[in-house]
Amino acid sequence: MLPVLPSMSERRKPYPFDILEPKWQAIWEQRIAFHAPNPGEPGFDPARPKYYVLDMFPYPSGSGLHVGHPEGYTATDIVARYKRFRGFNVLHPIGWDAFGLPAEQYAIRTGQHPEVTTRQNIAHFKKQLKRIGFSYDWEREVSTADARFFRWTQWIFLQIYQSWFNPETKRAEPIATYTGDDPDSVRLAYVAEVPVNWCPELGTVLANEEVIDGKSEVGGFPVVRRPMRQWMLRITAYAERLIDELEPLDWPEGIKLLQRNWIGKSTGAEVRFAVAESDDVIAVFTTRPDTLYGATYMVLAPENPLVDRLTTNEQQAAVSAYRAQVSAKSDLERTDLAKDKSGVFTGAYAINPANGERIPIWTADYVLMGYGTGAIMAVPAHDERDLEFANRYGLEIREVVASGAVSPPGSARASRAVSGALAGKSSGGAADLAGEAPAPAREARALPRLEDGVAINSPLIDGLATPEAKKRITSLLEEKGLGRRTINYKLHDWLFSRQRYWGEPFPIVWQQGKHRAIHESELPLVPPPLDDFKPTGTGEPPLARAKDWVRYSDTATRELNTMPQWAGSCWYYLRFCDPGNEERFVGAAPERYWMGSGNDEAQNEISHSAQPGGVDLYVGGTEHAVLHLLYARFWHKVLFDLGHLSTGEPFQRLVNQGIILGEDGRKMSKRWGNVIDPLDVIAEYGADAFRCYEMFMGPLEQMKPWSMTGVEGVARFLARVWRLATEENQEGEWALSAAVQEVEPTRAHLKVIHATIKKVSEDIEALSFNTAIAQMMIFVNAFTSPPGSARASRAGAGASPATARPGSLPGGTFPARVPETAGEAPALPGVSRSVPVAALRTLLVLLNPFAPHLTSELWERLGERFPITPNEITGQPWPDYQPEFLVEDEVEIALQVNGKVRDRIMVPIGAGKAELEALARANPRVQEFIAGKTVRKVVAVEKKLVNVVAT
Q: How buried is 767 (Cβ within 10 angstroms: 0-12 exposed, 13-18 middle, 19+ buried)? A: buried
Question: Site residues for RNA, window 358-417 (CB under 7 A)?
Answer: 365-368, 370-372, 374, 376, 383, 385
Is the CB of residue 632 less than 8 Å from the CB of residue 639? no
Q: Which is nearer to RNA, 172 or 367 (CB)?
A: 367
Candidate ranges 100-108, 191-199, 832-840, 898-906; the one touching RNA (CB under 7 A): 898-906
Annotate 569-633 with DSSP letters as a single string.
HTTHHHHTTSTT-SSSSS-HHHHHHHHSSS-GGGTTSHHHHT---SBSEEEEEGGGTTHHHHHHH
DSSP 749: H
941 binds RNA (CB under 7 A): yes
447 binds RNA (CB under 7 A): no
Candidate ranges 17-25, 351-359, 436-444, 773-781; the one touching RNA (CB under 7 A): 773-781
Q: Which is nearer to RNA, 142 or 491 (CB)?
A: 491
CB of 791 to RNA, least distance (A): 4
Is the CB of residue 661 less than 8 Å from the CB of residue 181? no
CA pair distance 451, 744, nearest whole angstrom: 72
707 binds RNA (CB under 7 A): yes
Q: Which of 92, 151, 323, 334 binds RNA (CB under 7 A)?
A: 334
CB of 912 to RNA, least distance (A): 15
Is the CB of residue 57 less than 8 Å from the CB of residue 97? yes
CB of 277 to RNA, least distance (A): 25
Question: Site residues for RNA, window 678-697 (CB under 7 A)?
Answer: 696-697
User: What are the two backbone dihedrals, phi and then psi, of residue 548, each rounded to the nearest 5 degrees?
Assistant: -65, -40
120 binds RNA (CB under 7 A): no
Per-residue x/- marks for RNA, 809-828, CB under 7 A?
-------------xx-----
CA pair distance 471, 488, nearest whole angstrom: 17
CA dihedral 552, 553, 557, 563 (to 10 degrees): -20
CA pair distance 845, 757, nearest whole angstrom: 10
Query: Quick one: which of 874, 850, 880 has its CA closest to 76?
Result: 850
Contacts of 830 (CB under 8 A, 6+ apart): 746
764 binds RNA (CB under 7 A): no
Q: Which is nearer to RNA, 1 or 822 (CB)?
A: 822
CB count within 10 Å of CB 449 equals 20
Q: Which is nearer to RNA, 623 or 733 (CB)?
A: 623
CB count within 10 Å of CB 788 equals 20
Query: Quick one: which of 862, 716, 860, 882 has its CA closest to 784?
Result: 716
**Which helix (H) or strand (E) segment is 654 a member of?**
strand 654-657
CA 569 and chain centroid, separation: 14
Q: Which is nearer to RNA, 377 or 645 (CB)?
A: 377
Q: Which is nearer to RNA, 534 or 667 (CB)?
A: 667
Q: Which of 115, 245, 468, 712 binds RNA (CB under 7 A)?
A: 712
538 binds RNA (CB under 7 A): no
CA pair distance 61, 110, nearest whole angstrom: 16
CA pair distance 446, 452, nearest whole angstrom: 15
CB of 484 to RNA, least distance (A): 14
DSSP 551: B
Q: Which is nearer to RNA, 273 or 717 (CB)?
A: 717
Q: Which is nearer to RNA, 98 or 344 (CB)?
A: 344
896 binds RNA (CB under 7 A): yes
CB of 700 to RNA, least distance (A): 9
Strand bridging mode 835-836 / 740-741: parallel
Q: Which of 143, 230, 286, 874 binds RNA (CB under 7 A)?
A: 286
Is the CB of residue 284 less than 8 Å from the CB of residue 373? yes
Q: Which is nearer to RNA, 380 or 579 (CB)?
A: 380
Query: Quick one: which of 563, 566, 580 has its CA closest to 93?
Result: 580
Contacts of 439 (CB under 8 A, 6+ apart): none
Candidate ranges 226-234, 441-449, 671-679, 780-788; the one touching RNA (CB under 7 A): 780-788
User: What are the two backbone dihedrals, phi and then psi, of residue 454, each rounded to the nearest 5 degrees?
Assistant: -125, 135
Q: Which is nearer to RNA, 20 or 715 (CB)?
A: 715
Q: Which is nearer to RNA, 338 or 679 (CB)?
A: 338
CB of 60 to RNA, least distance (A): 22
How many residues can be counted in the chain? 951
CA pair distance 360, 275, nearest whole angstrom: 10
- Give CA separation, 394 vs 295, 387, 788, in Å: 14, 10, 85
Candidate ranges 164-172, 260-268, 346-354, 803-811; the one touching RNA (CB under 7 A): 260-268
CB of 846 to RNA, least distance (A): 14
Is the CB of residue 618 less than 8 Å from the CB of residue 655? yes
Candidate ranges 141-149, 238-246, 500-508, 895-903; the one touching RNA (CB under 7 A): 895-903
CA dihedral 833, 838, 841, 843 (to 10 degrees): -70
Question: Site residues for RNA, window 829-888 (CB under 7 A)?
Answer: none
Per-residue x/- marks for RNA, 477-506, CB under 7 A?
-----------x-x----------------
* Count of residues interacting with RNA (CB under 7 A): 93
Question: Site residues for RNA, window 593-632 (CB under 7 A)?
Answer: 622-623, 626
CB of 27 to RNA, least distance (A): 27
464 binds RNA (CB under 7 A): no
CB count within 10 Å of CB 803 equals 9
Q: Which is nearer to RNA, 294 or 836 (CB)?
A: 294
Q: Which is nearer to RNA, 480 or 791 (CB)?
A: 791
CB of 924 to RNA, least distance (A): 11
669 binds RNA (CB under 7 A): no
Q: Which of 175, 186, 218, 258 binds RNA (CB under 7 A)?
A: 258
Encode burial over 531-541: b for 16+ CB neighbours within 10 A, e otherwise: eebbbbeebbb
904 binds RNA (CB under 7 A): yes
CB of 629 to RNA, least distance (A): 13
Positions of E strands within 39-136: 50-55, 89-91, 95-96
919 binds RNA (CB under 7 A): no
CB of 535 to RNA, least distance (A): 26
Candidate ranges 315-323, 328-336, 424-432, 493-501; the one touching RNA (CB under 7 A): 328-336
Query: Quick one: which of 386, 380, 383 has its CA closest to 398?
Result: 380
Query: Quick one: which of 449, 322, 452, 470 has its CA closest to 387?
Result: 449
Q: Which is nearer to RNA, 578 or 903 (CB)?
A: 903
Query: Quick one: which of 374, 424, 423, 373 has its CA closest to 270?
Result: 373
892 binds RNA (CB under 7 A): yes
Question: Site residues for RNA, window 781-810 (CB under 7 A)?
Answer: 781, 784-786, 789-791, 794-795
CB of 123 to RNA, least distance (A): 30
Candidate ranges 148-156, 228-236, 283-291, 453-461; the one touching RNA (CB under 7 A): 283-291
On the question of a cis peptide bond just before residue 524, with omega within 30 degrees of 0, the verdict is yes
Candidate ranges 64-72, 82-90, 254-262, 642-650; the one touching RNA (CB under 7 A): 254-262
927 binds RNA (CB under 7 A): no
CA 899 and chain centroid, separation: 43
318 binds RNA (CB under 7 A): no
Q: Which is nearer to RNA, 677 or 872 (CB)?
A: 677
Q: Which is nearer to RNA, 7 or 512 (CB)?
A: 7
947 binds RNA (CB under 7 A): yes
